[in-house]
Structure 1
Amino acid sequence: MLSSAAGRLFLAVVGLQSAIALAILLGLLSREHWLSAPGAVEFLATAAVVLVPVSVTATCLLVREQRHESRKASRTAELMSTVLSTSREWLWEVDADWRFTFSSPASATILGYAPGELIGRHCGLVVGESDLAAAQKIIADPARKGSFTGLIVPCRHRNGSTVWVEASGRARYDGSGVMNGFEGTSRPLGSETAQTISAKQMRGRIEAVLEGLSFSIAFQPIYDLSSGRVTGAEALARFRDAGDVTPDIWFSQATSVGLGAELELASMQAALAAATGLPADIYVSVNLSPETCLNPRLAEVIRRSQPAARPIVLELTERTAVADYRTLREALAVLRRDGILLAVDDAGAGFASMRHILQLAPDIIKIDREIIAGIDKSKGQYALGAAMTEFAAHVGAVVVAEGIETERELAAVTSIGMAGGQGYLLGRPSTRPGDWAQWKPVPTAENRSPESSG
């Protein structure tokens, strides 16, 4: 404020007044003070007449200028509040531990979190662990000198969806020069840009999985419910460092970027190789989409990897629609002539699986968990399961109940006449060969005690 013209005038007047007051004080303290000199009193009177109004004027100007600056500051604060409230740019600040210390209202629009819900929370709430680690590595690059622009980051919306944002910011430092956090802005990317970036990163992750074969194979036992013996094992891919991304999402994402067949074939090859550790007298079942069944590499993978004297079952999934069943039947016929068996997965869960059954005449029909769960309590589910079992008998297929988790469910599917079953009650998936070797027969319906089934 005092750097303005009014401020400088005020300082000059105060300085003159102070100098005169000091001179008067020194004169009074000296033995022969200058106030007794001719004209001294007249000088002081003249100075007072001049300085007093000038001082009053300077003071008024300064007060008016301060009020003006105060109104400007208040208006600026109002404008900043308006900007923060209406801008699509999200302003944020985090401390050295990556906990939010500030968030503008735009966080509610972009991520579904009000500012108050973020303050004090770790930014891992909205940025995945691996994505945050990647962003931190980029920001820590010494060449950036604590600042970054155009950093593309996937964020988690409160509803679970992914929101792609472009972030820019800089490091904050305390008075001693120690970095104590970051501040910056983030803006949501347009849908087309976000989709392009998402697909690129997704493809990169799938390619990395394929290159490093960074997955393992778990097997879950399939039982013959009449004898209680293990007759087969379903191969299930387990991806390393997958976080909360389930295997079906990995395969769906691979399909969306054109790598579905590559990932399925790599998983199948790994499954057939791992099957050498299974009991010798059981079949191995692998999941494939109709698209992969048409891939010319499939026959070669089977030829090179098929365990000696062990049947292979191809479980047809519903990841992609079948546009031409005739072509698919012809491709599968070649494999089936060589002893490959065909199963339709998740039967009863959707129209596509029923079309697969009618068009492809599978050897095995696997009844979906949605029908099996609570089948002992639902007359509708029980009737549907019975109808599917009767239908399978007419077309020469074997029925396997998926997802059996209770004794009552097992008793119900057995009473219907379903030939096979799998689920957590009978055996959980495992990647350890030692567990596969310990699979034991389960009690049949005749040998099951009333307590265990009721």
Structure 2
Amino acid sequence: MPGGSARTGRRAGTRERGPPMTHRGSLLGLALVDAGVLTLVALPVLAGLLVRDSVGTASWVVIAAWAALALTAGLALVRREHRARGDLAARDAALAATRLTGHDWVWECDERLVVTDSGHAVSQLLGFGPEQCVGRHLDELLYDDTNRTHVRTQLEAAVSPGAPSAPRGLELAWRHADGQPVRLRGSAAPLHDRRGRVVGYRGACWRASEPTEAALVTEAAARRVTSLLGGSVRVDVALQPIVEVGSGRLIGAEALSRFSDGRPPTAWFDDARVGGLTRQLDEMTFLNALSAFDDLPGPAFLSVNASPELLLDAGFRNRVLRSGRPLDRLVVEVTEHSQVVDYDDLEAALTTLRRRGVRFAVDDTGAGYSSLNHVLRLRPDVIKLDRDLIADLGHDGARRALVTALVLLALEVGASVTGEGVETPDQLEALGALGVHHAQGYLLATPSTDTAAWEAWSRRTWRQGTHAPAAGR
């Protein structure tokens, strides 16, 4: 079997390469033909003997019937032998015609459709090792009942009398090891024993379309995210406090996702982008973040990221509105994973949430033209400064000038300003001097999943130049 295989002890799929009839049956057919022909040839001689011996008409009928029966039976056996040989050759040719490469999965099963042999390519296509396939019923490897029924119908047709060839080009959904469907094309042919009985099937499967390397990356990313969405990985909520610069009091917290498999959030969101599942992952993490309201002390607000694409989804907005959470304490940070095509539609979508008390923030303001356009078009309640603006704020006059301009813009549109990425006392002091209202960053606290830390933040007063404990990091 190409590429190696794993087998059971009894090779149920073994078959003869020769005809599915026995050699004895073939000889019997030829013998009957010979007997019939000899009888017909000998009829004149027999006729003379029968006339001489005054044999009756009934004997003539018996002799003629024997000749006809022997000739007919013999020819039938020979024709059957020839047809069976042709059918088997056609089926073998159909299977052999499938191009076998290192990426094709070749398998065999017995008459009950239990896998008896599997090539190693199954690990690339379905994520199973060959030894994991052997002993499994094909029904376990196929994705659903529709595909199982289709396979049975095709295999039954392949062994029916007069079937011209093996089923070819079947496209079926198989079950990957992670439970997700994988579409494969394939071919199969029956295996016969020495008596011509079907004892199993042999097939080959390959991807429905030969994927490029990029397509394989996309498929793998989508499979990982789909598994995550199905609950294979626990998603926890980590909060990072947002503090009022002047008083040092907790006024809110930003919700961040932490994944139990240890992969960084950026890796998961990159997978979602590559696999085309950004909106689905955004919604799952957003709704999951709302659970932090259960332990976040009031009246602190909860700030959660959402892409414009997600906010434009009416179903998502309805789920937020029906969540039963205190929406007057919810701040939605508008990120930009994709370009906003129509601001009028986005403004209308935000209005439905604003009517219920939801506030909005524009994230990473100052990082580029798009974030400034968000501020001008969406009129947010909060402007969050990009961390690059904060990095050298105390010594860079251009950065100070831009932050000052954004503070003035916030006053004009009725918004507050939050500085993100605060890591040093000098940065916190500079923000206060420029009129920035709120601060967030590692100087104050690292993101924490510890609900006891969340409670402690509400009793703490941050002072410029002090660092909060990194509880629950």
Paired letter, 1:236: L
Distance 2:322 2:352 in 1: 16
Instruction: Determine whether 1:361 maps to 2:361.
Output: no
Paired residue for 1:435?
453
Partner of residue 296, structure 1: 314
> Shift in Å at residue 407 of structure 1?
0.3
Q: Could you give the per-residue CA deviations for residues 173-211 of structure 1, whole angstroms, max 9, x where no partner exists?
A: xxxxxxxxxxxxxxxxxx961111111111111011111
Unaligned runs of 5+ in 2: 1-122, 135-209, 467-473
Greater relative contact order (Cα < 8 A, sep 6+): 2
1:307 offset after TM fit, Å? Answer: 2.5
Query: What is aligned with 2:191?
Result: none
Matches within 5 A, 1:404-415: 404-415=422-433
Equivalent position SS for 1:438: helix
User: 1:195 corresponds to which residue?
Assistant: 214
**2:351 equivalent in structure 1:** 333
Q: Report the secondary structure of 1:305's partner residue.
A: coil
After superposition, the C-alpha distances for 1:232-286 in whole angstroms (9 at most, x for unaligned) are 110101122243xx31342243134332222111111111112211112111011
Q: Unaligned 5+ residue runs, structure 1?
A: 1-130, 144-190, 450-454
Give the superposed CA RMSD. Answer: 2.7
Aligned to 2:443, the other structure's residue is in SS state coil
Q: What pairs up with 1:309-328 in 2 under 5 angstroms?
A: 311-328=329-346
Following the alignment from structure 2 to structure 1, what is the Cα–Cα distance between the partners of residues 432 and 130? 60
The yes-or-no answer on 1:248 pairing with 2:266 is yes
1:291 and 1:201 map into 2 onto residues whose CA distance is 23
Q: How far did 1:387 drift?
A: 1.3
Structure 1 letter corresponding to 2:259: F
- Whether contact under 8 Å (1:252, 1:319) holds in the other structure is no
* 1:218 maps to 2:246: no
1:345 alignment partner, SS class: strand
Match runs of 1:374-453 below 5 Å = 374-439=392-457, 440-444=459-463
The CA distance in 1 between the partners of 2:130 and 2:425, in whole Å, is: 55
Partner of 1:239: 259
The amino acid across from 1:250 in the alignment is W
Q: % of aligned pairs identical? A: 37
Retained in 1: the 8 A contact 2:243–2:462? no
Alignment of 1:18-417 (within 5 A): 138=129, 193-212=212-231, 214-243=234-263, 246-308=264-326, 311-417=329-435
CA contact (8 A) 1:282 1:310 kept: no
Contact 1:218/1:429 (CA < 8 Å) preserved in 2? yes
Structure 1 residue runs of 4+, over 3 Å off?
137-143, 440-445
Deviation for aligned residue 1:443: 4.1
Q: CA deviation at 1:334?
A: 1.2
CA contact (8 A) 1:261 1:295 kept: no
Q: Give the letter aligned to residue 456 of structure 2.
A: Q
Equivalent-residue separation in structure 2 for 1:390 and 1:340 (angstroms): 24
Structure 1 SS opposite 2:310: helix
- Counterpart-to-counterpart distance in 2, 1:384 and 1:311: 29
Task: Return closer, same or farther for 1:233/1:400 CA change in 2, 3 Å cut-off.
Answer: same
Tell me the number of residue pairs that the alignment of Structure 1 and Structure 2 aligns.
269
TM superposition score normalised by structure 1? 0.55
Contact 2:279 2:309 (C-alpha < 8 Å) held by counterparts: yes
Change (3 A) 1:421 1:429: same
Report SS of the residue matched to 1:255: helix
